[in-house]
């Protein structure tokens, strides 16, 4: 006998009620959940209620029919609905050809009636361990893909010695070692994701994953699946089980970027997950425990969104234990030269251009500019200058900065520039509320987000 399975679930399907009773008594001490049914017509209903590890399936159900075709049919249906569930066939008629046919169609093993208790338990144990291995492998594959994605991201540091940056770094050091939920606020391009990565790096969870979710880049219909995962067949395109970001981030940190884009309908589910420390994948009725440290970021005024009833006040309290404001570049001008030098070295290596330097006149030009796109705009400006440079010294004319455009000059703008200004104005009017902006402009929120990325707003 092996130890009681902590979460093992087995479904037994047999039209012989005496056999069902005996199997139930035998297997109750071995599994957390044992469900018995006498009719195969109930199988699909039970699969919808539980995520079974094992199904012990009789081969024949109709009186006088011993072909095994009924069992093979239901084996096929089970594997379609729950491909990761292991199926062990059981029959009173020992037919080697039938056993081989069942194995070819996806059965894990084959048991003859009358069974030997020890042998039956051992066979089911092997099938259970096989199921657990498959589940672990699938989870590891998804986790591996997340790790590869994170490793392929450009790993940058927070660069700066200005008082605002030093104060922010002190705050990060204080809060990183706690498990407090943190909200990072700031304009687009200020480096909110870098702050999240620094918090994770200095936290007790630094040996685990930091999983990043860009809430602005996910279609509303996929939000719940992305965060909580889904079971195969839960909806039209759910062709396989999917592990949600909460589960992938288990024991680590979960970074929800642009959390102001989360629809109201999902805000309640996120709040429940944070309060209960459990989630429920779509298509499942079983809670999954999660242990994550939540870091969120937004360029929206969430307090204003709360007053407009676009964001739940109780959720804001939950994610906002500590708030860190990332200062815009125009307020930390003394860092511009340091950042420019940092990006210059990075792009020298990337584009194989050695010994480049920036002239003092070019530095002066950058110091006078307001950098509406913040550090991201500075990074792109340096990159363009490095790519196009013909001289080892980058001059003022090598740095193309956006001129401030007056209303009287609108007629000279290109369509793209006009569209950009229209979006900028609408974002300012609605305090960064993407939904309100998209409604005003008559476009989807996904289209709006793509344009914001394109124009580096």
Quote the tokens at residue 300. 């929206």
Phi and psi (nearest 5°) for 323?
A: -115, 130
Q: How far apart are CA 275 and CA 252, in angstroms?
A: 17
Give mean pLDDT, residues 370-379.
94
- Contact indicator for 421, 296 with CB cutoff of 8 Å: no
Measure Cα distances from 308 to 258, 311, 373 in Å: 18, 8, 27
Domains contained in the chain, CATH given: 9-135 (3.40.50.2300), 153-327 (3.40.50.300), 330-398 (1.10.8.60), 407-455 (1.10.10.60)
Q: What pLDDT, on the 0 to 100 scale, is given for residue 65?
A: 62
Stretch 272-301: mean pLDDT, rounded?
Answer: 92
**CA distances in angstroms from 28 to 4, 21, 34, listed in the order given:** 9, 11, 6
CB 257 within 8 A of CB 299: no
Residue 323 in this model has a pLDDT that exceeds 70: yes
What number of other Cβ atoms are within 10 A of residue 131's Cβ? 18
Spatial contact of 220 and 263, defined as CB atoms under 8 Å apart: yes
Residues 196/294, Cβ–Cβ less than 8 Å: no
In 3-state terms, what secondary structure has residue 199?
helix
Mean pLDDT of 94-99: 71
Cross-strand bridge partners of residue 16? none
Pairing of strands 242-243, 229-230: antiparallel
Lowest mean pLDDT among 331-340, 355-364, 415-424: 415-424
Residue 68 phi, psi dihedral angles, 5° rounding: 85, -5
Helix and strand counts by DSSP (H, E) for the chain? 18, 16
- The residue ranking higher by pLDDT, 441 or 222, is 222
Distance CA 313, CA 305 (A): 9
- For residue 90, the model assigns a pLDDT of 87
338 phi and psi, to 5 degrees?
-65, -45
Residues 144 and 125: their CA atoms lie apart, in Å, by: 28
Residue 409: pLDDT band (50, 70, 90) is very low
For residues 444 and 224, the model is more confident at: 224
Using a pLDDT cut of 90, give the percent of the chain over it. Answer: 53
Q: What is the mean predicted confidence (pLDDT) over 277-298?
A: 92
Q: What is the mean pLDDT of the chain?
A: 86
Q: What is the pLDDT of residues 230-242, one digit of tens each?
A: 887 777 777 777 8
Say if residue 412's pLDDT is above 80.
no
Q: Is 233 exposed, middle or buried (0-12, 13-18, 19+ CB in 10 A)?
A: middle
226 close to 269: Cβ distance less than 8 angstroms:
no
pLDDT of residue 128: 92
One DSSP character per residue, 374-388 reads: HHHHHHHHHHHHHHH
State how far Cα 74 lies from the chain centre.
35
- Within 67-198, strands assigned E span 86-91, 109-112, 182-185
Q: Are strands 9-13 and 54-58 parallel, antiparallel or unpaired?
A: parallel
Contact 290, 273 (CB under 8 A): yes
What was the pLDDT predicted at 406?
44
Residue identified by tokens 């279609």 is 219
Residue located via tokens 């996904």: 446
DSSP annotation string for 297-350: EESS-HHHHHHTTSS-HHHHHHH-SEEEEPPPGGG-GGGHHHHHHHHHHHHHHH
- Write out pLDDT tens, residues 151-189: 555 566 899 999 999 999 999 999 999 999 999 999 999
φ, ψ of residue 434 to 5 degrees: the values are -60, -40
CA distance 362 to 257: 34
Exposed/middle/buried for residue 217 (C-beta within 10 Å: 0-12, 13-18, 19+)? middle
DSSP 212: E
Average pLDDT over residues 80-92: 87
Q: Which residues pair with 358 in a beta bridge?
A: 394
């Amino acid at each position: 006998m092996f130890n009681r399975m902590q979460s093992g679930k087995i479904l037994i399907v047999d039209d012989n009620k005496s056999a069902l009773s005996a199997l139930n008594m035998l297997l109750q001490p071995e599994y957390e959940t044992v469900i018995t049914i006498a009719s195969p017509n109930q199988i699909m209903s039970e699969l919808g209620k539980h995520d079974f590890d094992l199904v012990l399936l009789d081969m024949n159900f109709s009186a006088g029919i011993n072909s095994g075709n009924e069992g093979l049919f239901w084996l096929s249906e089970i594997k379609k609905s729950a491909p990761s569930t292991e199926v062990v066939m059981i029959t009173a008629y020992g037919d080697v050809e039938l056993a081989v046919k069942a194995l070819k169609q996806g059965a894990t093993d084959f048991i003859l009636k009358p069974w030997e208790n020890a042998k039956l338990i051992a066979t089911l144990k092997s099938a259970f361990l096989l199921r657990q291995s498959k589940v672990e492998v699938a989870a590891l594959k998804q986790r591996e893909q997340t790790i590869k994605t994170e490793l392929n991201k450009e790993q940058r540091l927070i660069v700066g010695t200005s008082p605002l940056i030093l104060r922010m770094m002190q705050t990060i050091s204080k809060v990183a070692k706690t498990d407090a939920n943190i909200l990072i606020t700031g304009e687009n391009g200020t480096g909110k994701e870098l702050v999240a990565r620094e918090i994770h790096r200095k936290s007790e969870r630094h040996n685990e994953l930091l999983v990043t979710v860009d809430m602005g880049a996910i279609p509303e219909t996929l939000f719940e699946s992305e965060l909580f995962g889904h079971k195969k067949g839960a909806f039209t395109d759910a062709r396989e089980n999917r592990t949600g970001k909460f589960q992938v981030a288990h024991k680590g940190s979960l970074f929800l970027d642009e959390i102001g884009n989360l629809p109201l309908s999902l805000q309640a589910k996120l709040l429940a997950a944070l309060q209960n420390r459990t989630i429920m994948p779509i298509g499942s009725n079983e809670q999954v425990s999660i242990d994550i440290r939540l870091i969120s970021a937004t360029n929206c005024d969430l307090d204003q969104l709360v007053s407009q009833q676009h964001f739940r006040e109780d959720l804001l309290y939950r994610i906002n234990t500590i708030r860190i404001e990332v200062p815009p570049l125009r307020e930390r001008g003394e860092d511009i030269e340091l950042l420019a030098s940092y990006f210059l070295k990075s792009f020298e290596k990337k584009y194989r251009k050695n010994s480049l330097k920036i002239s003092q006149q070019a530095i002066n030009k950058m110091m006078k500019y307001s950098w509406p796109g913040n550090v991201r705009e500075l990074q792109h400006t340096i990159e363009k200058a490095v790519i196009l440079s013909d001289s080892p010294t980058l001059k003022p004319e090598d740095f193309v900065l956006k001129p401030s455009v007056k209303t009287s000059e609108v007629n000279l703008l290109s369509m793209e520039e006009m569209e950009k200004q229209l979006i900028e104005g609408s974002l300012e009017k609605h305090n960064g509320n993407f939904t309100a902006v998209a409604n005003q402009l008559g476009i989807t929120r996904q289209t709006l987000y793509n344009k914001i990325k394109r124009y580096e707003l």
